[in-house]
């Protein structure tokens, strides 16, 4: 019996998802895309899960790209469908109501960088490398890479990475704003899970409100974004967590948020 393409483990309120195709450097094929989509649906619906960490198995790669062997024989229509399948899954991650952290333990190339960029935060080992090398295959990014890279790092960086296809190291990715933090490889899991635990202990409805505001604000004008933020801010006053958080502050104690 073959190994599952995606592993799941719960660490308290943090769910760890691991793409498990180490012999293929965790390349994304149709089965893996579908498994990821299901896993994020389940995490969204599970009240015991408050944060998600996504990584790849083995020491070499987070995800080294899409599965080239599977793509090689696709027709134009099948290629578009494959792109849409990946985009739907990554949009699902991006719109998660709970924070998702990509733990970049190695190569995050092509579809792997696209997968990392749809997560809300990215922590990279100092040995990690990222890039959009599709140009070297006669292709372009197909899972949202041109769009998210443009939004994260700006036009100049998006053009450089997509046009040259050359990977960059973690330090350069941090400088460009593609990753949030770079840590020594030996400390990657500890530091990532520490951040995930911190997020998991925060007020879940406030986390969701922040994620919604930033997702909406990134795609609309400033006036619409401010109006949406005010509406979400007001909504927080209907929650028991807001009363708990403000009371805990006034009473100088640690709050106990319940997501209500």
Residue tagged active-site, from 42, 70, 94, 114:
114
- As a whole number of angstroms, the distance between CA 246 and CA 237 comes to 11
Are 124 and 170 a contacting pair, CB within 8 Å?
yes
Residue tagged active-site, from 94, 134, 227, 229:
134
Range 254-260 contact pairs with CB under 8 angstroms and sequence separation of 24 or more:
255/203, 257/201, 257/202, 257/203, 257/204, 259/47, 259/50, 259/203, 259/204, 259/205, 260/205
3-state helix, strand, coil in the chain (%, to 5): 55, 15, 30
DSSP symbol at 114: H
How far, in Å, are 20, 114, 146, 166, 214 from residue 134 at the CA level? 22, 12, 11, 10, 29
- As a whole number of angstroms, the distance between CA 45 and CA 68 comes to 33
Q: Which helix (H) or strand (E) holds 69?
A: helix 68-71
Query: Does residue 160 have an active-site annotation?
Result: no
- As a whole number of angstroms, the distance between CA 61 and CA 167 comes to 13
Are 10 and 49 a contacting pair, CB within 8 Å?
yes
Query: Does residue 3 have an active-site annotation?
Result: no
Q: Which residues are catalytic?
A: 114, 134
């Amino acid at each position: 019996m073959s190994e599952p393409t995606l592993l799941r483990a719960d660490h308290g309120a943090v769910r760890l998802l691991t793409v498990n195709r180490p012999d293929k450097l965790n390349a994304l094929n149709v089965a893996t895309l579908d498994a990821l989509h299901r896993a994020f649906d389940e995490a969204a619906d599970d009240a015991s899960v408050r944060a998600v960490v996504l990584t790849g198995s083995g020491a070499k790669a987070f995800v080294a790209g899409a599965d080239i062997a599977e793509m090689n024989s696709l027709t134009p229509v099948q290629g578009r469908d494959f792109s849409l399948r990946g985009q739907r899954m990554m949009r699902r991650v991006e719109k998660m109501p709970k924070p998702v952290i990509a733990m970049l333990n190695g190569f995050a190339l092509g579809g792997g960088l696209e997968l990392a960029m749809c997560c809300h935060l990215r922590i990279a080992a100092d040995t990690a490398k990222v890039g959009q090398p599709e140009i070297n295959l006669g292709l372009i990014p197909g899972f949202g890479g041109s769009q998210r890279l443009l939004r994260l790092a700006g036009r100049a960086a998006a053009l450089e990475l997509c046009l040259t296809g050359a990977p960059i190291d973690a330090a350069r990715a941090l400088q460009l704003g593609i990753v949030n933090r770079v840590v020594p490889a030996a400390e990657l899991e500890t530091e990532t899970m520490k951040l995930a635990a911190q997020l998991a202990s925060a007020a879940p409805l406030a986390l969701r409100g922040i994620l919604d505001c930033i997702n909406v604000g990134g795609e609309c004008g400033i006036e619409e974004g401010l109006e949406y933020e005010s509406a979400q801010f007001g909504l927080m006053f209907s929650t028991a967590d807001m009363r708990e958080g403000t009371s805990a502050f006034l009473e100088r104690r640690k709050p106990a948020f319940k997501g209500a």
